[in-house]
Structure 1
């Protein structure tokens, strides 16, 4: 027999063709083979139908093993050939263990998928014939292979000619093979989330031209991400080009012309592109790109005008073209004539970084057990930066036997960033201006994970132009500022900044401009000379003398805990802008302590009172912007604040003994933030609070002693939010709140004493969110209809009795939340149909009795929750099928009797809840878009068909056998096998499957992506094997009294949680001893369980609970489990002795040592 391959090595193929020679060899298959061969695809086919199937050679199996795509061509007599069936079974076997790297693409040439799935006699009869000649197991495997492949998406020629069909097949194969690849490291760990995010921005299925900028610091993986996307997308374009190292090459004298030539050669497939200058290149590129759909990657671009010189104007490209730019600098892609969409590369997740490190260091995805903690520490120290992870991983790849060396490397990395990484990051640093460098170094040394507000005050007073500087640092991805306004910085970038500060001489910290370690700070203070370089100092528990501070003339930042100052400080600290003095003593002994340039004073957690001696001296700090007194527990009255006229932030949070706010607070006309959260003893607010005309944020105290709010609160015209939470002593709001015309958020959450809102609420014309949850509100004023901008109302867990008709006037309302309103009854008002922008309606756990027909008018409705509305009865109206945007529909715990057939018309429905619907008789066909289904089919008269739910990810299904009055219906209704059959046809993407009172399917081979499996109340004695569930993380088997054994667990390499309960016949747990990834183990009420295997290999186990296993006599191997923290043993009366367990484990047990009989 001669084997034939198209193009390339005999040992590796792109496509393996499986076909019946007498049907298609000389026609369709031959044409397909030749066309693929012509496009460069490496194809395998057997030349002579393997001589009637005799003497199959090992080379055929090797060809299947080495191919990436399997393409069975199903024809009329395909199943009559045992070799075709053998090939098909081999494909299924290899694909199932390929982790997605191999794929089957069937062609249903002149048969239907139903024929292949054995729903007709065509292939069924052939299998019957084979059964007469071959072993039953072999024929069963062929049958299984046909049924599995029959469910796959493939090509059905129908009315297509062979030419069009072959074109479609080859195009798809080329896309999947990514023939025009950029070479990637073999150790690549692909981040699917980031790839998908950029692909979504590129949107190649839409018209027009799109450009996307991939932005991030050096070494974070921008180029790798661009290469992955280039490889995936390039087959979709007429031509493609990847221009690498643009920043570096463009700085050469001929660099731009070189890059233009490279681009043109990619387009022309030719190197004969004569260019004399850049302008000539621009003109030629413009002409060449105008009629081709192109994909271009411009890698590492720093200057904005480079893009036009290389690609021209994006509008000039042919529709469908796409341009990707990678850059360190957002400014390089901003302010272009055509918008370039920005994507900032995220840091790798810790597990991905560890995987990448291990591939370089160990050649596999996981570290050996004795190196795991060390490997994790190294990866963490490297800040999850791919470049750093790769370099260090590779450097340690041949040193697995030298643990001391690994420890030295870790210590070295903790002290300074990696040289190669430092060089890459320095490019961004060196391009900063002087003030921007100062801000960058301050953040790296002092402010990582800290709020930006106080540093901005300091930098502004130092003329560092902080807002501009921060913007530049953000553009260069050197920092991040998240929604919480805190600075974030990659660990390697932070270490770069600290290295820059220390690079003069690490042995002499007095040369440092910023000192952030206590030991270095003490060395500086002891030296008493030559400290003029020091601008920032962190120290603790030190008593400063005037002589020490005389040697720190340029100190602008001082932070310490438990400090003290002794001496005369006249004319000292002239540059000090920020003093953080936590736990300062109640006695103040310094004299002339007058830091006149101070803008931030933080005295948090100090024992000072309003009589503290420091107040009079600090009054001289008239530039003060922020005064932080949080958690000053001894403060009963605020000090005189009248001198701090520039103050913008006053923090009194946690001053739990504060009773009175001094009236001088009214002098703070520039105050923007007043935080009194946790001032639990406060009895009243002074009238002068109303003078704070600049106040934007006022966090009210949660004080039960505060019983009234002053009417002057209504004068706070700049206030953007009004939040009086959990003030249980307040029983009404002042009518003046209607004057707060700028507030967007209003909350009285938890104010149980407030029963109603003032009519003036309707004057809050800017209000966007109203939070009344957990308050005592019983009704809403009609004036609520005036809130024309409101988008969210939350009235959960209130005393609300009804929804007013005025609710229908809130034309911009998007979310209405009324869960747990136990007094809310009757029908929802018809006016709700006027809320055309409504997206979420939550009426869960209320006593509403009906939904109006107008409920279907809000065409944007995405979520409808009526869970546990026990008064909601009858059938749901057909009109619900009009809610085309509906994503979540939860009727769980209601008394509805049926769903309309129109529910199948909901194209976006993702989650459907029908749990504990005891009156539900009918579940119609469900929309195929469902991702999550929770269904108790207790009383259903017709068993629902689930086979069309092709995208289902979570299934929680219960079926209780229904006692019927009509005996003739008994057989059909008592059998749950129809549900079981439809479960078997569910998609392989299913990740969660919970079954109650339903036998599991006969096999789980179709559910390879299952991560959570729960089986409850099943009467079977045995369960199907689980060897296909490689991704299973959670397994729960409960209330199965006849179950004698559970499937072998040793194959579940990802299993983290195992819960076994009320398995009265279970005698052993096979494979438990090999479950090395297990973290939580619970075995409860397994009365027949005689023993457990050795558990010493369960090295990741953290929690182990054993209850009421009455015949269990011993537990072995727990002493080796160092991660075990919680051990519970209760009701195990036959246990001879407590097992050894790690020292730090928390033990909960009722075990008593058996008494020794007198005979012994």
Structure 2
């Protein structure tokens, strides 16, 4: 656990010991155990960094610690530093009013030795008296005597293990911080820790509760422990109640948990409780006057929280409660709000690190095991529990690669036993229908859209919407914004294991058969297979006899299938048929699956004359017909019998010319997708009869030149999107009848020059997208769109903004970038847009901003980048935009920014790049996070040291533009700028400097992740050893630079760009950059050599240009991740380097010609 809080570390315990006696033995074990419980321990060899003042750091550590623990050993008193520490401890303790205490350990001495009643320490003090002042030795003597009187531990008759356990328990109680022990292999996910802490709102008042939710084994409890250990010191008392679900099911479980909670609060085990109600009353009384942190781990029943913690309103202000659960329902329906946090899967790199710590005892795998380790981690689904179990099981088997491969194969077939047991808890609590839905998703629908499965499940009476909600609550599935099912790999494998656990040798017992081989075995057996409900197979010709043996088949998916025979009364349960690459001929008879609700014939060679249409017409319950990519279809078939159809997909039917007029019979149709129907010439009038149609994706067809007037009858349509139909030159006037649409787009319709006046009738419209169309003007009726929030007119032919724009009282975003014909001043009516948040006029020809621009008090972003006609001074009133976050004047011809810009309290980003007329930059607001400033022509720029939150600085300065000395008192010279930069906050993450020398040292920028130095005349750059977090480094156009600092300390560096460094001879430390992914070395004419590069194991791209004296490149052959290698203009290179087989090489290198003797 980290101990840093603020700029210097704070500690719980200060360990004072004689290194020669106990450093490698007792003290080391004590330190590690305390650290493992989350106690912040100071030990001088770990905590004092090279270059720090030893005394200052020691004294700070003592002042900040709560408990002092001197370990008295035989030579303790011979060390002047030990005695100095002890005297300082006594001094701090004496003035602490009881908040600090000393807990001595008499390791191999007696208290009498320490109290100077024997010669052991007396003799050492006598020796010190010969060297040091009498007052100092007297103070040491007094400290020894006083501490010797204190009660402490005497390990002589106790094993070290038991003693350390006792010491740590006592420390935790005294710290009132019952820290939870965490595995030494912990890989802390700081993003998730920070996210939960933010939800808890530690710095705010009131009481807050957060539920940490996720599947078994995903790390809920570990996350809660990490947060508990971090936060508990900030509370009066804290308690962590583990395994609540399991313990509460015991007869005395609730009373036991209540006692445990009370003992944590009282630090006493004597809490007599007679029943649960007694416990509730006592807890309520005890928690009302203490600021508490309570974790309730693994809670499944929502009423447990009240019995354990009581009403959250009854807790003292500042108290916080954390619940971990597998089930969202346990926290969702509470009368008071419990914020929900769903634990994310570990990122791949974190999972690999965790695996390696268990398997190899270090953070990275050996090179020859890397790919295998990554495959194992990927197969485990980044589930921490699974990663830990497998990693530990392989920890002593590094020399048995065959075993590792066997383990991987086994994992691919079934989940781990321990993981399976954990996940089965959630599965077993599902109802019968919910289990069916869960198993279907695991075996059939991972990464698939939920719409079609819901049709099938509804017809099977599985109540799918409720079932999906339950599965979501239990974190067994996820449904993200794309409406696709997601499932952790281990959860998926659990579902598949449940389906197969009857007897893996006999697939006929499986309810869902998803492998081609198993499916063929079932079909060939010609036996009754009533268990089979779902089948996936490819390239098979079904006979009626085969399907007779599958009476309960409800799902059939296959590619290149065929049906031969008489199928009368067969497939009575079939709800879903996916028949991809269906042949153009249909020979089956009586193929009438009457209960079919989903028919997917994607990518088939069928036409409107296909023989299967007449038989499938009997499927009157059909809900979805998917004909996407049926490229032989020129006309849709007769659809009149599919009266229940809700979804019709024709996307990618590139030869479709006509839509059959029977389309008008589909009164329940909700979705029609014709994207990619490039040959469509017209839509039938009957399209206007589709009263239920909500989503209509029009074709992007250049041949579609008109839209039928009946389109205006689609009263249920929620969005109207006709994109990139370049043949359409106007919209029907009836478009105003689409009163329910919220989104309207004609993006890319270059032929449409104007909009119909009826557009003003779209009373529900929220977003209007006209971007990349041919629109030249807007109708005045646009002022009637009272609900509209977003208008995008980017890259159109728009010439001016109408005054009517000011009537859009709910407008929040107005985007007009790249409107090259948009000129003149912005209309004054813009000031009426009181809800406006974003105004983007970038790359237009606007010439002025009205004073009313400051009236929209909610304006957050103002973009006028590259508006070359925008000149003069910006109005002073801009300082009134109190919500403004982003202001970009880059590429304009403004001459002055008003001083009122410093009054903008929320301004985060300011762009002033290439403002060639700008002469003065006033004082900038301290709220800035990002500043881009070309000061090439500025006479005055401000001191930057007040930018205390700055994160990104891109600064260019032309050293030849300095003005007359009369401005010297205000002028910022390059060196003054450097001094100003050095005072910027340590949180700065991006620093780009052009024509400005870098600061003399980077010690203040330890959080820098991107550094760029350009056009610098210095011969040497400052050292980089402090930039531990640097990921990108660019040094270019520095012709005098003879060497760059040693790079070996940049362990996080991913990108290195070196260009036009004419004097550079060598690159020191390049060979140690194990995180480097991209390396570019360009026009370094004096570069004589490169180090051996074999350690750059993550390198993906290497570009070498015009390094004319470079003769060799070594070490690329083993870089398996290297995908791109470019070597151009390196004329002295003697040979091409070895490189991996799959690396793409781009080079102009030619082998030197060799002359033979005559």
Deviations 1:444-487, CA, capped at 9 Å, x for gaps: 00000000000000000001000010011111111110011000
Q: Bigger shift: 464-473 or 227-236?
A: 227-236
Q: C-alpha separation between the residues in 2 aligned to 1:880 and 1:594?
A: 72
Contact 1:733 1:757 in 2 (8 A): yes
Of the three residues 1137, 1140, 1145, the one matched with 2:1138 is 1140
Q: Bigger shift: 906-915 or 727-736?
A: 906-915
Q: C-alpha separation between the residues in 2 aligned to 1:152 and 1:894?
A: 75
Q: C-alpha separation between the residues in 2 aligned to 1:355 and 1:182?
A: 22
Deviations 1:1009-1065, CA, capped at 9 Å, x for gaps: 222211111111111222222222221111111112222222222222221111112
Contact 1:546 1:568 in 2 (8 A): yes
The answer for the alignment partner of 1:358 in structure 2 is 356
Residue 1026 and residue 527 in structure 1: after superposition, are their counterparts in 2 closer, same or farther (change >3 A)?
A: same
Deviation at 1:1075, TM superposition (A): 2.3
Residue 9 and residue 971 in structure 1: after superposition, are their counterparts in 2 closer, same or farther (change >3 A)?
A: closer
Q: C-alpha separation between the residues in 2 aligned to 1:474 and 1:852?
A: 52
Q: C-alpha separation between the residues in 1 aligned to 2:235 and 2:585?
A: 76
Q: C-alpha separation between the residues in 2 aligned to 1:38 and 1:656?
A: 64
Q: C-alpha separation between the residues in 1 aligned to 2:1011 and 2:450?
A: 46
Contact 1:944 1:979 in 2 (8 A): no
Deviations 1:501-525, CA, capped at 9 Å, x for gaps: 0001111111100011112111211
Q: C-alpha separation between the residues in 1 aligned to 2:234 and 2:486?
A: 38
Deviations 1:1104-1141, CA, capped at 9 Å, x for gaps: 22222222222223223222222222222222222222
Residue 1053 and residue 61 in structure 1: after superposition, are their counterparts in 2 closer, same or farther (change >3 A)?
A: farther
SS at match of 1:1118: coil
Matches within 5 A, 1:761-780: 761-780=759-778
Paired positions, count: 1158
Deviation at 1:176, TM superposition (A): 16
SS at match of 1:547: helix
Deviation at 1:1096, TM superposition (A): 2.6
Q: C-alpha separation between the residues in 2 aligned to 1:760 and 1:836?
A: 26
Residue 40 and residue 604 in structure 1: after superposition, are their counterparts in 2 closer, same or farther (change >3 A)?
A: closer
SS at match of 2:911: strand
Q: Bigger shift: 436-445 or 326-335?
A: 326-335
Deviations 1:409-446, CA, capped at 9 Å, x for gaps: 21111111111111111011001000000000000000
Q: C-alpha separation between the residues in 2 aligned to 1:256 and 1:1124?
A: 59
Deviation at 1:405, TM superposition (A): 2.0
Matches within 5 A, 1:328-407: 328-407=326-405
Q: Bigger shift: 899-908 or 135-144?
A: 135-144
Q: Bigger shift: 649-658 or 387-396?
A: 387-396
Deviation at 1:609, TM superposition (A): 0.7
Q: Bigger shift: 672-681 or 811-820?
A: 811-820
Q: Bigger shift: 791-800 or 35-44?
A: 35-44
Q: C-alpha separation between the residues in 2 aligned to 1:226 and 1:69?
A: 26
Q: C-alpha separation between the residues in 2 aligned to 1:522 and 1:815?
A: 58
Contact 2:172 2:179 in 1 (8 A): no
Q: Bigger shift: 448-457 or 925-934?
A: 925-934
Contact 2:176 2:236 in 1 (8 A): no
Q: C-alpha separation between the residues in 1 aligned to 2:137 and 2:845?
A: 59
Q: Bigger shift: 912-921 or 495-504?
A: 912-921
SS at match of 1:1058: strand
SS at match of 1:1031: coil
Q: Bigger shift: 881-890 or 6-15?
A: 6-15
Contact 2:36 2:181 in 1 (8 A): no
Deviations 1:163-197, CA, capped at 9 Å, x for gaps: 99999999999999994422222222222222222
Deviation at 1:738, TM superposition (A): 0.7
Residue 424 and residue 15 in structure 1: after superposition, are their counterparts in 2 closer, same or farther (change >3 A)?
A: closer
SS at match of 2:50: helix
Residue 936 and residue 84 in structure 1: after superposition, are their counterparts in 2 closer, same or farther (change >3 A)?
A: farther
Q: Bigger shift: 825-834 or 160-169?
A: 160-169
> Does residue 1:232 correspond to 2:240, yes or no?
no
Contact 2:34 2:41 in 1 (8 A): yes
Residue 1088 and residue 755 in structure 1: after superposition, are their counterparts in 2 closer, same or farther (change >3 A)?
A: same
Residue 100 and residue 737 in structure 1: after superposition, are their counterparts in 2 closer, same or farther (change >3 A)?
A: farther
Contact 1:1100 1:1121 in 2 (8 A): yes
Q: C-alpha separation between the residues in 2 aligned to 1:664 and 1:56?
A: 88
Q: C-alpha separation between the residues in 1 aligned to 2:351 and 2:843?
A: 45
Q: Bigger shift: 348-357 or 729-738?
A: 348-357
Contact 2:634 2:657 in 1 (8 A): yes
SS at match of 1:1128: strand
- For normalisation by structure 1, the TM-score amounts to 0.86
Deviation at 1:706, TM superposition (A): 0.4
Contact 1:988 1:1006 in 2 (8 A): yes
Q: C-alpha separation between the residues in 1 aligned to 2:875 and 2:490?
A: 60
Contact 1:710 1:734 in 2 (8 A): yes
Deviations 1:217-239, CA, capped at 9 Å, x for gaps: 11111112222222222233332
Residue 795 and residue 96 in structure 1: after superposition, are their counterparts in 2 closer, same or farther (change >3 A)?
A: farther
Contact 2:729 2:752 in 1 (8 A): yes
Q: Bigger shift: 320-329 or 434-443?
A: 320-329
Deviations 1:106-142, CA, capped at 9 Å, x for gaps: 9999999999999999999999999999999999999
Residue 1011 and residue 338 in structure 1: after superposition, are their counterparts in 2 closer, same or farther (change >3 A)?
A: same
SS at match of 1:48: helix
Residue 165 and residue 676 in structure 1: after superposition, are their counterparts in 2 closer, same or farther (change >3 A)?
A: farther
Deviations 1:293-322, CA, capped at 9 Å, x for gaps: 322221111112212222222222233322
> Does residue 1:656 correspond to 2:667, yes or no?
no
Q: C-alpha separation between the residues in 1 aligned to 2:369 and 2:742?
A: 54
Residue 421 and residue 233 in structure 1: after superposition, are their counterparts in 2 closer, same or farther (change >3 A)?
A: same
Q: Bigger shift: 381-390 or 357-366?
A: 357-366
Q: C-alpha separation between the residues in 1 aligned to 2:913 and 2:123?
A: 43
Residue 286 and residue 521 in structure 1: after superposition, are their counterparts in 2 closer, same or farther (change >3 A)?
A: same
Deviation at 1:1150, TM superposition (A): 1.9
Deviation at 1:995, TM superposition (A): 1.0
Deviation at 1:1157, TM superposition (A): 3.2
Deviations 1:356-414, CA, capped at 9 Å, x for gaps: 22222222222222222122111111111111111112222222222222222211111
Q: C-alpha separation between the residues in 1 aligned to 2:182 and 2:592?
A: 62
Of the three residues 704, 711, 714, the one matched with 2:712 is 714
Residue 863 and residue 289 in structure 1: after superposition, are their counterparts in 2 closer, same or farther (change >3 A)?
A: same
Deviation at 1:491, TM superposition (A): 0.6
Residue 574 and residue 927 in structure 1: after superposition, are their counterparts in 2 closer, same or farther (change >3 A)?
A: same
Residue 261 and residue 598 in structure 1: after superposition, are their counterparts in 2 closer, same or farther (change >3 A)?
A: same
Residue 580 and residue 897 in structure 1: after superposition, are their counterparts in 2 closer, same or farther (change >3 A)?
A: same
Q: Bigger shift: 713-722 or 223-232?
A: 223-232
Q: C-alpha separation between the residues in 2 aligned to 1:1038 and 1:271?
A: 68
Contact 1:6 1:44 in 2 (8 A): no
Q: C-alpha separation between the residues in 1 aligned to 2:62 and 2:368?
A: 38
- For normalisation by structure 2, the TM-score amounts to 0.87
Residue 676 and residue 140 in structure 1: after superposition, are their counterparts in 2 closer, same or farther (change >3 A)?
A: farther
Q: C-alpha separation between the residues in 1 aligned to 2:933 and 2:143?
A: 31
Residue 548 and residue 289 in structure 1: after superposition, are their counterparts in 2 closer, same or farther (change >3 A)?
A: same
Cα RMSD, aligned residues only: 10.3
Of the three residues 406, 409, 421, the one matched with 2:407 is 409
Residue 210 and residue 144 in structure 1: after superposition, are their counterparts in 2 closer, same or farther (change >3 A)?
A: farther
Q: Bigger shift: 1101-1110 or 438-447?
A: 1101-1110
Contact 2:177 2:238 in 1 (8 A): no
Deviation at 1:351, TM superposition (A): 1.4
Residue 637 and residue 823 in structure 1: after superposition, are their counterparts in 2 closer, same or farther (change >3 A)?
A: same
Contact 2:37 2:181 in 1 (8 A): no
Deviation at 1:963, TM superposition (A): 3.5
Q: C-alpha separation between the residues in 2 aligned to 1:147 and 1:1040?
A: 65
Contact 1:53 1:82 in 2 (8 A): no
Deviation at 1:924, TM superposition (A): 2.0
Residue 1032 and residue 148 in structure 1: after superposition, are their counterparts in 2 closer, same or farther (change >3 A)?
A: farther
Q: Bigger shift: 407-416 or 751-760?
A: 407-416
Deviation at 1:58, TM superposition (A): 15
Deviation at 1:778, TM superposition (A): 0.8
Q: Bigger shift: 299-308 or 154-163?
A: 154-163
Q: C-alpha separation between the residues in 1 aligned to 2:191 and 2:1092?
A: 40
> Does residue 1:1087 correspond to 2:1091, yes or no?
no
Deviation at 1:1100, TM superposition (A): 2.2
Of the three residues 206, 210, 213, the one matched with 1:212 is 210
Contact 1:174 1:235 in 2 (8 A): no
Deviations 1:71-114, CA, capped at 9 Å, x for gaps: 99999999999999999999999999999999999999999999
Deviation at 1:742, TM superposition (A): 0.6
Q: C-alpha separation between the residues in 2 aligned to 1:73 and 1:99?
A: 24
